Copies of this chain bind each other. A is one copy, B any other.
Amino acid sequence: MTGDKKSVVTPWEVSGAVDYDKLIKEFGTQALDLAQLAEQKDAPPFIRRGLYFSHRDFPQWIGDAEKGKKVSIVTGRGPSEKMHIGHLVPFIVAQYFQKKYGCMVYIPFSDDEKFFVKKGLTQEQVAAFAQDNMLDVLALGFNPAKTKIFSDFEYTKIYKYAALIAKKTTFSAAKATFGFQGDTNIGFIFYPAVQSAHIYMPQFLEGAQRTLVPIAIDQDPYMRILRDVADALGFIKPGAIHAQFLPGLSGNAKMSASEAENDVIFLTDTPEQVKKKINKYAFSGGKDTLEEHRKQGGNPTVDISFLYLKYLFEPDDKKLAKIEKDYRAGKLLSGELKAILIEKVNAFLKEHQKKREQAKKLVSRFTLT
């Protein structure tokens, strides 16, 4: 599904075949104990089934959480478009741990990052996307007493916090991590300090504690640069768990609407749109002809419909195992597999879109001031 293209993994570009074991070595992170995660029966399916594969200081965070110590989670969103199903992954993680450990969750919306990075985007546009995206996040049902959302252009103290980190971050260090060039605008150069401030928000507001950041692996450079200033700030280095990318419908390495609108399922898509996109674009591991498929069976490991069921939409291990077995055996056809996914996605979106509407009344209760 990915193949020959050169592999690129930076916070702004993911393309080509991704070798996740190699990334662990390159980025200097640790492999997660996948067998142990598989045992966590109450965890979201994508955690039990290995989408999160790497970490920094995760056992220490869990250790503190299990002991009842104050721990926290930060996971943000860059609001430059409507949200798709892949965007929900880290928020589902946050919500799972909040339920389990009662921890604080901070959700920054980096309207500034998107404004600085995306050429044509105005402040009004990022503000509108932030307002819209907040609904999708709050639709998941966070605890309002333990969850704070904010956007950088509206939250009054972010510049002051970011300044504390900016003063300790040289241009050389930022350039080495992010590859800034002469034509990079100075807002973009400052932004890593803001992103770092996000991750330190729990410690700025409530003192030293372990913080966990569930992110896709491409965002890890931010973790490296922000962990470097922990000692100087008198804080504990934040930890992270890193996800593999959820592929796009066509099999692109990372689901991304900026690449192709038809490659993603938006959280606001209608049942008809979902049906059409999956039937038309979802990369299939099935064989070309019915006869061949019946005889040789399909390959679920590259089949996008199967992968979406595995990571997001079929939490029941037995049901998933049967789907996999039947598909490999050629008993389940590609169109039938897609039909299962379509039904699951539309059931989820129906509920999500209802909660999304209800969330409009909740935004102010969650907003950090």
Chain A residues within 8 Å of B, Cβ to Cβ: 112, 115-116, 123, 152-154, 156, 158-160, 162-164, 166-172, 174-175, 180-190, 192-193
Residue pairs across A and B with Cβ atoms less than 8 A apart, 13 shown, are A116-B166, A123-B164, A153-B160, A156-B156, A166-B188, A167-B185, A169-B187, A170-B182, A170-B185, A170-B186, A171-B182, A171-B189, A187-B193
Distance A163 CA – B152 CA, assembled complex (angstroms): 11
Nearest CB of chain B from residue A181's CB, rounded to whole Å:
7
Q: In the assembly, what is the distance between CA of A193 and CA of B187, in Å?
A: 8
Q: Are A190 and B187 in contact (CB under 8 A)?
A: yes
Copies of this chain in the oligomer: 2
The one of B116, B171, B175, B192 that contacts A163, using a Cβ cutoff of 8 Å: B116
A163 contact set on B, CB distance < 8 A: 112, 115-116, 123, 153, 187
A121's closest neighbor in chain B, by CB? B167
Within 8 Å by CB of A171, from B153, B156, B169, B185, lies B185
The answer to whether A159 touches B112 (Cβ under 8 A) is yes
Residue numbers in B under 8 Å from A186 (CB-CB): 166, 169-171, 174, 189-190, 192-193
- Among A116, A166, A181, A184, the one with the most B-chain Cβ atoms within 10 Å of its Cβ is A166
Q: Which B residues lie within 8 Å of A183 (CB)?
A: 170-172
Q: Give the residues in chain B near A175, CB-CB below 8 Å.
A: 182
